[in-house]
Amino acid sequence: MAKTKRNTKKNSGGKYALSSFAKKLVESYLSILPIAVVVTILFIARIIPDFTAMTFLGFWLCALVVGFGLALFNVGIDESMSRIGSLVGESLFKHKSLFLVIAMTFIIGVLVTVAEPDLKVMATQIQWNETLLICGVGVGVGLFVVFGVLRILFRKSLNIMFICFYALVFALAGIVNPKFLPIAFDSGGVTTGPVTVPFILAFGAGLAASKSSGDQSGDDAFGLTALASVGPIITVMVMSLFMDVDSMFYRYESNEILTATDWPSFWQAFGHITGHTILSELQEVGIAILPIFLFFVIYNFVFVHVRWKPFLKIFINLIYAYLGLVIFLSAVNIGFLSAAQSIGMGLGLQTPGNLWIAILIGGLFGLFGVVAEPAVHILVKQIETVSEGTIRSSMVLAVMAIAVGGGVALAVVRAYYHFSILYYLVPGYILALGLTFLVPKIYTAMAFDSGGVASGPMASTFVMPFVTGFAYGNGKLAGWNETAISDSIYENAFGCVAMIALMPLIVVQLMGLIARIKRALLDRKARKHFFEQNDGEIIHFGEAQA
């Protein structure tokens, strides 16, 4: 009988794992499908002359593989990174050593950032010192996650910290090379991706639960991701002051798939690139994931002492995450990213006549990326819960999607008219930081966290290459040389992820302001029912008796 129960339990566990993967698979393909539909319409309508059938097929093959890899990766991350983050977060404060808290927080902040796929995708597109950039971003995340933990420990004001850190950001922006400025802001957006967000959220929740109680723990659980995204902006800016930025040169390179002229050469190129890319990613992703596993092995042996079955489950799911990440990055590098660049360049070569088409398509890519992002749906449900139903999740999702779509459209406008990204970011952050004094603290924390949530995998793998491709095509059309085009891409095309990360900071806080106003109006209406028209009159009982 006991054997039968154990078998039933095992079978139910297997069915649960299978259903979990199926759910993640559906979510992944839903995140890709809207963009794929737009690409299909562009191909059928022949809006882009050089967008060949082979390029279109390469995009669809890679899109299917990207969805599968992302699903496998997310299943593994849920039961590995999130679990590790929760265990470490819950155990740190129990040892009552401030040095241990700071040291462990910094180490895990660096390690999870180095393994972040969104950051790696962006680093390859920048074509600078990839290792140095990733390490610099990792140090920034580690430092500012430490600041976030200290905030939880000493219960400091989150909005004051945001004001101080962003004041430092814009002070540095005045002396940073304009060629590198958009990259610094983009690095903050891509940092909070599918590896970093679940880990830091679980880590922050574990810390808050072990340190705080009641409503305070809920407030403390938010904001850690937002602080983690500020750190890379500052560290990358500082790093650029001591590095040779002027020698950076952007090269637009069409891979063999995009340049194939017939079907035999297409399949030959596809097979050659696939084999080479997978071998390369197996090695590079392994180097990124292995330190996290080794850290957990040592931390578990010294502090946590997880039993072997839960430990084995974490290990197996980390392997799933590793394989999923290899598949995801391979498909992105083989054809997904290149197709986005090709579409952008094709539209750039048709401006100014078709500028409105490029703006519209960029906006749609941003809008669909937010609508289909699973983490965004979790966020909007949290907002509905916190507002006690006064703000519907569907309304928040619609407003966020339109705002982010508008942000990408504005990025396309900037790539065409060539003006500094500070014209967007300075007033945007002034508004976002000003709202922190008008809305409840929980909305401020959720708003700044939502910036990282909105800039998901589609931002770095499709939106960013689309905008850089557009800027390249626009420069070619103007007859610029390669150096001028390269400088224009660095100064004017990068920064689109920063725009995606900025918009939710404003709209989510505006939602909080609306909720506060609605609550005040409801309270005022409720108070009227307790007072009659003449309740304010004073009756002198002594005079009445006389």
For residues 293 and 204, which has the higher predicted lDDT (pLDDT)? 293
Q: Residues 209-260: pLDDT tens digits?
A: 666 554 454 555 567 888 888 999 999 999 999 888 888 888 877 777 767 7
* Displacement of CA 39 from its chain's centroid (Å): 23
- State pTM to two decimals: 0.85
Contacts of 187 (CB under 8 A, 6+ apart): 119, 122, 133, 137, 140, 232, 233, 236
pLDDT at 233: 94
Residues 6+ apart with CB under 8 A from 222: 204, 442, 445, 446, 449
pLDDT of 92 strictly over 60 = yes
Residue 149, both tokens: 């933990």
Query: How far is residue 277's CA from residue 352's CA, in Å, rounded to a whole number?
Result: 37
Contacts 24+ apart (CB under 8 A), 174-178: 175/241, 176/237, 176/240, 176/241, 177/240, 177/245, 177/246, 178/420, 178/491
pLDDT value at residue 502: 92
Question: What per-residue confidence (pLDDT) applies to 211?
Answer: 65
Determine the average pLDDT of the residues in 473-488: 91
Query: Could you report the per-residue pLDDT of 350-371, keeping only the tens digit for each?
Result: 888 789 999 999 999 888 878 7
Per-residue pLDDT, 264: 84
3-state secondary structure of 254: coil
**Local confidence band at 376 (pLDDT 50, 70, 90 cut-offs):** confident
Picking from 10-19, 56-65, 118-127, which range would have the lowest pLDDT averaged per residue?
A: 10-19
The residue ranking higher by pLDDT, 287 or 207, is 287
pLDDT in the model for residue 538: 59
For the chain, domain boundaries: 22-254+271-517
Q: What percent of the chain has pLDDT over 70?
A: 88
Contact 179, 245 (CB under 8 A): yes
Q: What single letter denotes the amino acid at residue 456? A: G
Q: How far apart are the first and last CA of the chain?
A: 93
Q: What is the pLDDT of residues 320-349, one digit of tens each?
A: 989 998 998 888 888 788 888 889 998 999
Percent of all residues in the chain with a pLDDT value above 90, rounded to a whole number? 28
What element of type H or E holds 272?
A: helix 263-299
What one-character-per-residue DSSP string does 309-352 give? Answer: HHHHHHHHHHHHHHHHHHHHHHHIIIIIHHHHHHHHHHHHTTTT
Q: Can you give the pLDDT at residue 212?
A: 55
CA–CA dist 167, 348 (Å, integer): 35
State how far the Cα of 69 lies from the Cα of 63, in Å rounded to an integer.
Answer: 10
Name the one residue in this structure whose structure tokens are 């619609």. Answer: 398
Query: Would you tell me how many other CB atoms lie within 10 Å of the CB of residue 292?
Result: 22
Q: Which residue has the tokens 């048709």?
A: 350
Residue 484 has a pLDDT of: 92
Predicted local distance difference test score (pLDDT) of residue 546: 45
Residue 430 has pLDDT above 90, yes or no: yes
Residue 528 is predicted with a pLDDT of: 72
Between residues 82 and 39, the one the model is more confident about: 39
* pLDDT (mean) for 121-136: 87
Residue range 131-159: mean pLDDT, rounded: 88
- Type of residue at 546: A
pLDDT band at 542 (very low <50, low <70, confident <90, very high): low
Per-chain mean pLDDT for the chain: 83
pLDDT: is 503 or 546 the higher one? Answer: 503
Residue range 164-179, pLDDT digits in tens: 999 999 999 999 999 9
Give residues with Cβ within 8 angstroms of 214, minimum separation 6: none
| Banded pLDDT at 79 (limits 50, 70, 90) | confident
